[in-house]
Amino acid sequence: MRILITAGPTREAIDPVRFLSNRSSGKMGYALARVAVRRGHVVTLISGPVALRPPPKVSFVAVTTADEMLAAVKRYLSQCDALIMAAAVADWRPRRVSAQKIKKATGYRLLCLEPTPDILKQLRSKKGRRVFIGFAAETERLLTGARRKLAEKGLDLVVANDVSRRDAGFEVDTNRVTLLEAGGGVRVLPLMTKMKVAARILDWLEAPARRGCASGAAGGRVGA
C-alpha cells in the first residue's frame, strides 16, 4: 500500500524564541514508518520537530506548525491508500505572535489562545475508500475519549493510549494501547515496544478487508 504517516509534535510560536508544544517524541510514528517500509509498503512520513533520524526508504517531509502539517497531509493524501495520523498536533496556538522576544517582567502575562486546525476533521470529506487510523492520547476515561474521536472524525481505527502512565505514551520506547474499530471491535494489547505496537497496527491494516477497502483509493493497484 501507499501509506501516509504523521509523527511527532507541532510547535506554535509565541515569539521568536518560545513556542507551545507537547511531549511527543515521534517514536510511535517513526516505528510505524520503519515497520511499513520493511514490509514493502511505499511510505511518506510527515514529521514535526523530533530528535530522530528518518527511517531509510521513506519519503520524508519536515514541518513545524499545525498549519504546515495540514497543508502537507492535504498535498499527499491523494497519493495514498491509508493515512495513519500518529502525530500529536498542538491543540492551541497564540492568537498573536510577537515579532520580538517578550522580555521577562514582574507579574503575570496573559496569552490569548485559539485552536489549531483539526486535521482529521478537515480531511473527513476527502476520505473516500482510504483507510484512516488515528491516535487518542488520554489521561482519563481512555475508551470514552477514544470512541468519541472514532465517531467524530470518521476513523476506521483509533489507537488509544493512556499517556499518564510512565511506561507508555510520550518519550518512552514502550506503549500499552487499545485498538478500537469503527465496527465495534476492541483489542486490548499488553505492554510492548512501540515497534511491536506498530507491527500490530500494520497487521490490522493489511487484513484482506482493509486491503479491499483501500484498493484503488489512490487511483492505482495496491500491493503488499
Q: The domain that contains 176 carries what CATH number?
A: 3.40.50.10300
Band the pLDDT of 214: cuts 50, 70, 90: low
Nearest to 154 by CA among 189, 119, 188, 185: 119
Does a structural domain hold residue 102? no
| For residue 217, pLDDT beyond 50 | yes
Q: Is residue 219 part of a domain?
A: no
Catalogue the long-range contacts made by 92-96 (C-beta closer than 8 Å, 24 or more residues apart): 92/12, 92/20, 92/116, 93/12, 93/13, 93/20, 93/65, 93/66, 94/12, 94/13, 94/14, 94/20
Residue length of the chain = 224
Q: Which domain holds residue 61?
A: 2-90+112-214
| Residue in the structure block whose three cell numbers are 517524541 | 25
Determine the pLDDT at residue 104: 83
What mean pLDDT, rounded, does the chain reach?
91
CA nearest neighbour of 1 among 47, 32, 46: 32
Question: If you ran DSSP here, which 8-state letter would residue 9 be given?
Answer: B
42: phi then psi, degrees, rounded to nearest 5: -95, 120
pTM of the model: 0.91
Question: Which of 224 and 64 is assigned the larger pLDDT?
Answer: 64
Mean pLDDT within 86-98: 96
Predicted confidence (pLDDT) at residue 221 exceeds the cutoff of 50: no
Question: Dmax of the chain from CA atoms?
Answer: 62
Whether the per-residue pLDDT at 32 is higher than 70: the answer is: yes
Q: pLDDT at position 67, please?
A: 98
What is the domain count for the chain?
1
In a domain, 106, yes or no: no
Contact 163, 140 (CB under 8 A): no
Catalytic residues, by residue number, are 22
